[in-house]
Structure 1
């Protein structure tokens, strides 16, 4: 029984690190208007961008899509807060030459590789980031907690999760989708 919890916890840790990166990318965290972990009635999307995760020399991971994407993010730190809980600190960057206003991020984590079936959502949340000046960033820490049932759903999918993140502003919407095997 402890081995199952350990495997589920390992999956959650790695998955949450990736998910938190996506959440940080989108600015999810303890900010006014945050709905972290609550159901999202309408999840806006645009054609998924192709992500290119890059491990930086300082141990953080940078995720961005094509050079022309209006936003990018880094996962700055992931800390364990329990067997199926992770505190993830991430930073959202405005890569545009102008101020981005009305920024809201939407994040969904699905159990399974390349899976966006709404029945397989194990975590979702939103956050109002607001306004980011050109070249500015927004850093936040988000707590991602999965139930044991949700962690088992990831385990039943051979440790794969799919993270779908949409950053919506007054002028643009961009969606990122990435699958990772977390255990």
Structure 2
């Protein structure tokens, strides 16, 4: 009896954690045996400065102070907040979340992609994946939506086999930058 209760609690905890990020993705669970998932962009391509040995622009090899030491610590350009989570069944949650643009400028072509993996890394196939097209988000503005997230029992079992651990990878892509956030949680 206790094993059944533990298993049901684990599945509910998994659904809750998946539901927390459901709005960000806006799509239900992956279909069983579906097409392989394409890779997410995880960083904005940038040109690397020339740092060859003897480069005099580096101050003769002196180490540059960190952003915190210079007093210019960067503020994340986007923030996610979970506003509400409501149960809609044993493995179902309605999740209301908000994406806020913390930049001073408008972000265009905004898309949020989220993947949830069983375990402590992003290796293998995700147990859940989704994408939410946001569009244009002015500086300081927020985008709020409610999404229904339903996970399969198979996905819950995969997480249970991973000791209850999940890794959530969320990527915000705009016309000029890509920001990826990774979070690991024990939901078991």
Q: TM-score range by the shorter chain?
A: 0.7 to 0.9
1:152–1:106 Cα change, 3 Å? same
Q: Residue 110 of structure 1 aligns with which residue? A: 117
In the TM superposition, 1:33-48 aligns within 5 A as: 35-38=27-30, 40-46=37-43
Separation (CA, whole Å) in 1 of partners of 2:102 and 2:22: 17
Give 5+ residue unaligned stretches, structure 1: 30-34, 48-65
Cα RMSD, aligned residues only: 2.3
1:12–1:85 Cα contact (<8 Å) kept: no
Q: Cα offset for 1:23?
A: 4.1
Q: Cα offset for 1:180?
A: 0.5
Greater gyration radius: 2
What secondary structure is seen at the aligned counterpart in 1 of 2:21? helix
Q: Cα offset for 1:2?
A: 8.8
Task: Find the partner of 1:138 among 128, 140, 143.
Answer: 143
Separation (CA, whole Å) in 1 of partners of 2:127 and 2:7: 13
Task: Find the partner of 2:178 among 173, 178, 182.
Answer: 173
Q: TM-score, normalised by structure 2?
A: 0.73
What secondary structure is seen at the aligned counterpart in 2 of 1:118? coil
Shift >6 Å, 4+ stretches: none
What secondary structure is seen at the aligned counterpart in 2 of 1:11? helix
Task: Find the partner of 1:70 among 32, 54, 77.
Answer: 77
2:86–2:93 Cα contact (<8 Å) kept: yes
Q: Residue 22 of structure 1 aligns with which residue? A: 21
Separation (CA, whole Å) in 2 of partners of 1:36 and 1:129: 17
Q: Cα offset for 1:139?
A: 0.6
1:109–1:163 Cα contact (<8 Å) kept: yes
